[in-house]
Structure 1
Amino acid sequence: MKMPSSSATNLKKEGLRHLLKTQDYTKKELNDILELMAMLKEARKENALPQLFKGKSVAMIFEQPSTRTRVSFETAATMLGGHALFLSPKDIHLGSKESLEDTGRVLSRMVDVIMARVDEHSTVAGLAEQASVPVINGLCDWLHPTQIMADLFTMAEHLPEGKSLSDLTVAFVGDATNVTSSLMFACTKFGMTFKHICPERFKAPQKWVEIALDNCEASGGKLVITDNTDEVAGCDIIVADSFYWFGQEDEKELRLSTFIPNYVVTQELMDKAGPDAMFMHCLPANDTRECTREVMESPRSVIFDEAENRLTAQMALLVYFTHHHIQAPTEATLTMHKDKIEGFLKTL
């Protein structure tokens, strides 16, 4: 019997898009995702989430461990009626026995979304080049777009009275991490003032600065790069992150001695920002390095709201990137296939 050669996943879907970086999306498109996040979060509160990922699967590739990324994607898929598969380096042959290209093509035949948390941006970009399903960047050495969608939503939930997102001034105190870059790009795209406060040695690279300045020209935002912690004065939000990460262990002592104590977010630094300034951190946080436990537990900290909103973001992203491709069968089609298969099974 000749079998059909086409894929059940409908390869080369029209309008296929990936989330490699928020910079690829307009402010309106990012706002659409934020609005979807708000509706899904409200539905979750009412225990009334529509099953918008029913019958679908997301493959979660992890080259790096994560608490929030894994739990949020897996929970989001399940709550929306779908399924998530955890794929560590022990589970797949990515880049070893099987090429990046073949991995992307094979997974596209079996799942509806690929999420990849990887060491290098080229890996997730390579998957997207070959995949015929949406690919979501769960973190790479350059960017962390899913975190930033959660951050933007958290900012929107805690806006100072009378202000919109574009009115905010955000200060990132610390190293030029993948969160720094993603937040810098998103904030300047929305027209905010973004300040990167860090030692000269670890400031944002020129490539990032140029992208952010282009955003500012279009949005009316402002970018400040400085080593002066007094620049936190008047900021609405203070953000911190780890002073070193995977692949930077050999620089650990240099980094800690450079950042500590001047760039640690303390209560004194928060007070310098102002009485209404909020504190954010993507977590995990080290309360003896980049920030203090006092700041983390203060009423001005929204870090656990921010963490919860990783789930809010992942729900929206799974729906946003698959809703165009939903092909709901008619009752007649369901009945036809059911009768056909059951009829065949009776002959066995």
Structure 2
Amino acid sequence: MTKASGSTLAVQRFLAQSLTLGLQTGKQRTAVVAPQRTPSASQAQTMAEALTALQDGTWSEAQNLTSAAKAQPDPAATTQVPSASAYPSSLRKQKLPRATFEQIGRTQSKLDRFQVVLSDPSRVVTPFGRALNRGMSVSWRGRPSEAAIYRSGVEAYLDTLTGQVRLIDKSETKLSGRSATIPVTVQNNLVQGVEHLMLRLTSTNPTRLEIDGDAYEEQPVTVSGGHSQSVKFTTSANANGRATVVAQLYTQDGERYGEPVTFDVKVTEITATVMLVIGGGVLLLVLAGFRMYTQRKRAAARRTEERDEETGEDAKNADAPQNPHAAEERLPEEPEAEPRADGPEQPSDPAPDTAPESADPSGTGESGPLRMSWPWARIDEVG
């Protein structure tokens, strides 16, 4: 097939054989066209030209391999399948191992999940599609180590891009009261935006903590390139304690996207009894403060009145005239007890403050005796 003449002859022969198969019987026949195991570039190009010319013809109709496998075989055809040992060992060594196709299939599944959340999937599907085709190329035959490095590099790079859209890790969250809101943040470090994502928040113990009245709640997520978005979920607590919550991203077809984020929620509900006790304590503090304020105010008013009275007495004493006999006109102090007038003197009675009167006449120079009335007496000086 390296020459144009040989390539043209091969195309003509292929078209003639396909036409002959259609004219052998009046019934529709099915034929599977399979290339050789290791075609060269010129052979593959010649086959492509032949298939293109066959599709443009009027005697054939193209279909996929699945439809061809459902067709009934020709009764005259050979139905015996050769054993595995009949396969040439030289060709077996050139085949790609099973692990290669498993890795390529896994990478293709990751690409399918990733492209559905992108706003412009063509920027990822086209280059990675070509890379997957190259990973299955026959050019890697005879170089298994280089082929494995290439396929692993393609899968690792796709994992890096997929991981740019993720959930932010959360620490333990504390809820005070019966209901509260829990925010969950989605981060997008890609250049383009992501959409068609669903964020599900699930409570592992719904009897203690409910998410929007159920075990879980889902909300759509749309994040622009290089930005983050917080999604808020309404929760209601039925009992105090710790509950575990799991946040997970999903695609619209229900496939998991990325790794889940698990965190604990500690519920500390304030009951009505606790609120009553707290309110009573606050009321007692207010009453105690009001009483202290009233007592201090009364004491200050009392001290002010005493100072005013003392100031008034001092001013009155300063204005009054001096009396030389003021010392003599002061009344004596009240005795501790009054003696009985109509009975004998008791041992417990106090002694009189003055001596008994004398019957002798007064001395020279005195004009009269000093009279005193009991218990209160006013001293009168005669002369």
Q: TM-score range by the shorter chain?
A: under 0.3
> Which structure shows the bigger proportion of residues in helix conformation?
1
**More contact order relative to length (CA 8 Å, sep ≥ 6):** 1
TM-score normalized with structure 2 length: 0.18
Higher Rg of the two aligned structures: 2
> Which structure shows the bigger proportion of residues in strand conformation?
2
